[in-house]
Amino acid sequence: MHIHREGYNIIGIILLICVTIIATLNYFFPTQTWIHYLIYLNVAGWFIWTISFFRVPHRKINRFEGNVISSADGEVVVIEKVFEPEYFKDERIQVSIFMSPFNVHVNWYPVSGVVNYVKYHPGDFLFAKNPKASAKNERYSIVVKGNDEKEILVRQIAGWMARRIVCKRKVGDKAIQGEAFGMIRFGSRVDLFLPLDTDIKVKLHQKVKGQQTVIASL
């Protein structure tokens, strides 16, 4: 495991705030009480959580041509046939994965191929489980054309806590199944839009792991 570079500045700022809180507390109230220890515990918990949020696990990638693996850690909250109006403009199977603030928030390519489309959309910050979040929230859409010529749209969606989506990819980039393409900070969701003939392998409310859980078979 290592820490994502997007977290370096935030971790540094949080550390400075934590040190300032403790130093200020002890300057004005030098006598140690149970309140001090409670504050120390909360400050330490906040700092540890911040570090853990930006963790990047080192996992064995479950690569297999024809399979769609999970782009995120979290819970499957949507499996349904929908009309996808942005890129495909036809019906697709949508599988949505909700990431709580305690999940890993790195996002990985579900298949190998070439990036055919990348678009950023500004928007609202509705709770990520809200069905309207896919169309109304701040989001990034990426389409990967697989080696089998089938296209999959991956949509990063900011939640009510999330205020930054990281996606430094462009059209023409090579996509390798299981490799990271971005992350979303502080609570969010990833939508996958798959062809209608896809064989879905997960169930609603199932916990999934990025790079490992097979979401579907093409």
Residue 52 a catalytic site member: no
Distance CA 68, CA 94 (A): 13
By CB neighbour count within 10 A (0-12 exposed, 13-18 middle, 19+ buried), where does 155 fall? buried
Catalytic residue among 96, 134, 141, 188: 188
Q: Which residues pair with 89 in a beta bridge?
A: none
Q: Residue 153, Cβ neighbours under 10 Å: how many?
A: 20
Place of tokens 């462009």: 170
List Cα–Cα distances, 38 to 28, 41, 43, 146, in angstroms: 16, 5, 9, 52
Return the number of other C-beta atoms located less than 10 Å from residue 200's C-beta. Answer: 15
Which tokens is 183 given?
């992350």
Euclidean distance between CA atoms 207 and 186, whole angstroms: 18
**Where would I find the beta strands (DSSP E) of the chain?**
2-3, 55-56, 67-69, 74-84, 90-99, 106-108, 113-121, 139-146, 151-158, 165-167, 174-175, 180-184, 188-194, 199-200, 207-208, 214-217
Q: Which amino acids are annotated catalytic?
A: 188
